[in-house]
Chain A
Amino acid sequence: MYFLPLVLRELRVATRRRLAFRVRTAVAVATMCLSIWLLLVADGWGVATNLGHFVLELLAVLGMAGSTLAGLL
């Protein structure tokens, strides 16, 4: 296997993309908004265990969506 130069080339090309910075910023802002919203609605959950499971499910859905669409983005 001799693929590391190819990986290096691909990553260099990716860093030159204009959209890369914008996408990163948009994802960071979206995650912050989501976290703030979660903190705001946390009071309504009563039992902490429900909140823990809800956050896990939410992060799992986001992780799955991100992983599935990683090849397209």
Chain B
Amino acid sequence: MSQERREGTLGLLFLTDLQAHDVVFGKLAAKAIVPFFCGLSLLPALAICVVVGGVTGGEFWRVFFVTMNALFCALSATILTSIFCQRQRIAYGMALFGLLTLTVILPLGGNLLSIWTRIPVWGHLAGLLTPTGSYLLAFDKSYQMAPGWYWGSMIASHFLGWMFLVLACLVLPRQWKDKAVLPPRKITRERTLFARVNKHKRLRDELLAVNPVTWLGTRPNASATLIWSLPLAALVLWLSTDIDPLGNWGSQAGFTALAAVHALFKIWLAADATHAFSADRKTGALELLLGTRLSVRNFGGNFVEAEVFHTLRS
């Protein structure tokens, strides 16, 4: 959906007889058809487990239904998030965050809350709304203890998927249109932003005279600012917990979280740096640069210089 918005083809779809719900369900069907058949192909492999033994027929069908329900729920959530975002990376990031919230953060948060407050119902309620909850309850051991929670979780998460779709149908006709003039309360904020942009523009004008590659790489980028939240998170983690890979479970969890933050920082930085090349290639900026007197040999170094400048400056 965000790709359609970027390319300006979403408006063209609305020029036809299609309604918002046609577009949303069309996208859902197109995205779901391949994973759905993959899920169907999983059935014989799952059935082998019944033949091998130790797995009941009910368990087999419950696992299959959970997988299909998770597919529906995840696709609905992804379609909804992609409506709100125009830029590709933001759309991916938002969708990933939404899915992580739905499958990991919500059930984990509910369980932690139930441990903290010693009220087990929080964990059950959080599991009720997510496909992860129904997945954990699908196996015989858990299902026999609470069959009602399994079916409740299936119905609730399925209903959540439908809610995402209905919301997408309602929001889509408003999102693809150009935005109206800014309301008065936003004008002051915009002025401050313009002042900052002008300052940045002056700095970039100086850079253009020195090197166009560095100039191109220093375009305003919110990602370069956000990346510094990760070292900050690592610092907070280091100060608040006892980091020890060989210590008790708390220290080990702290160490794992720190390692994850560290890895994410490196991946983010690398993705940001490599994205510049592909984005410039797509917009034709790289071709224009190659038409100047700059030698290809200098390109890599200048791009690294631009990336370092941009990241450190923000």
Contacts and interface: CB of A to CB of B under 8 A. Distances in A.
A72 B99 CA distance: 10
Contacts of B30: 6-7, 9-11, 14
Contacts of A55: 45, 48-49, 52
Q: Give the contact-size bracket for chain A.
A: 20 to 34
A53 B60 CA distance: 10
B49 A3 contact: no
Contacts of B79: 71
B275 interface: no
Given A3-B22, A52-B49, A68 B42 contact: no
A53 B96 contact: no
Interface of B is mostly: helix
Contacts of B50: 52
Interface in B18-39: 18, 21-23, 25-27, 29-35, 38-39
Given A67-B68, A68-B103, A56 B131 contact: no
Interface of B: 13, 17-18, 21-23, 25-27, 29-35, 38-39, 42, 45-46, 48-55, 59-60, 63, 66-68, 70-71, 74-75, 77-79, 92, 95-96, 99, 103, 131-132, 135, 138-139
Given A63-B63, A72-B78, 19 more contacts: A6-B23, A6-B26, A11-B33, A48-B52, A48-B54, A52-B52, A52-B53, A56-B46, A56-B60, A56-B63, A63-B67, A64-B66, A66-B35, A67-B68, A67-B70, A67-B71, A67-B74, A71-B95, A72-B92
